[in-house]
Amino acid sequence: MFLEIIYSVCFLALVIGTYTDFKTREVPDWLNFSLIASGLGIRLIYSATEMNWSYIINGLYGFGVFLVLAMIMFYTGQWGGGDSKMLMGLGALIGLEISLDSFLVGFVINVLIIGAVYGLLYSLYLTIRNWKKFVNAFGKIFSKKPYSLIRKIVLILCVILLGSMIFIEETSLRLTMFSLAVILFLSYYLWIHVKIIERIAMHKYVNPEELTEGDWIVNEVKVDGKYICGPKDLGVEKNQINKLIRLKRLGKIKRILIKEGIPFVPSFLTAFIVTYIYGNIIFLILMI
């Protein structure tokens, strides 16, 4: 009964989060904080009624582990604040049992794998949807000095790796060199692809009144030489939004360029369903 309640709450929250993430590119705080409170609250109730404190302890462990993971993903710019808070709520609900076959461990691994595939497919969707813009932007960005310089460095490193294969007899080592060259070459073009997609499909201008806490500002906003906000903030704060609104009323700024992130909660939902039905993807692959 306990697990049925936990998994039902997780599934419901992920469905709501997926809907709001697709519709508004945001996961509301009320949902995330409710998820955290529900997780710790349910576990505390079960601990008290069953006189077994492992319920709440596992919930705190899960919350703590996902707090660290969420902070890493947020401060490296991979996820937004809403995604990160939802992850903490899921950690509190699911809880962490110290074993490789635990649900939470399987869920984390599945999120990383499914999230990577989902991110790639979503970026390909944006590329197809904005194909003409993508082709034009590719030609422009490809010829810019910083990108052309990096391309030359990548090509030189690839030539060195491939050239070194001539002097290596061991097959496994030669295969490693070849693989590194291919990965390096593809990584450069994937990086270019991501940069272009950000510019043509994920940047948009909004009025200061439309900003919400955590929005990523693309360019620095300075008024009379004074810094207001910018990309280094890792998400605009409430007091900065209020300043921007006041400055707009004074006629000193108009609209703000922000970067919309990929809606990542759908990948959480997919990973949760996969984990519930199949368990850890890695174990599943090894069994084939």
58-81 residue pLDDT tens: 999 999 988 988 888 777 666 677
Does the pLDDT of residue 11 top 80, yes or no?
yes
Across 14-39, average pLDDT: 91
Does the pLDDT of residue 288 top 80, yes or no?
no
Q: Which of 152-156, 194-198, 283-287 has the highest mean pLDDT?
A: 152-156
Name which residue leads in pLDDT, 217 or 286. 217
Across 244-257, average pLDDT: 90
Query: What is the total count of domains within the chain?
Result: 3
Instruction: Write down the pTM of the prediction.
Output: 0.77
Both 178 and 226 in a single domain? no
In a domain, 103, yes or no: no
Q: What is the pLDDT of residue 274?
A: 95
What is the side-by-side strand order in the sheet with 216-217?
203-206, 256-259, 216-217
CB within 8 Å of 113: residues ≥ 6 apart = 271, 281, 282
**What rounded mean pLDDT belongs to the chain?**
87
In a domain, 119, yes or no: no
Token pair, residue 267, equals 């990948």
In a domain, 74, yes or no: yes
State pLDDT tens for residues 78-95.
667 777 889 899 999 999
Range of the structural domain that residue 15 is part of: 2-98
In a domain, 276, yes or no: no
Given CA atoms 41, 47, 48, 53 in this order, what sign does their dihedral have?
negative
In a domain, 46, yes or no: yes
Both 55 and 83 in a single domain? yes
In a domain, 211, yes or no: yes
In a domain, 278, yes or no: no
Percent of the chain with pLDDT over 90: 33
Both 61 and 93 in a single domain? yes
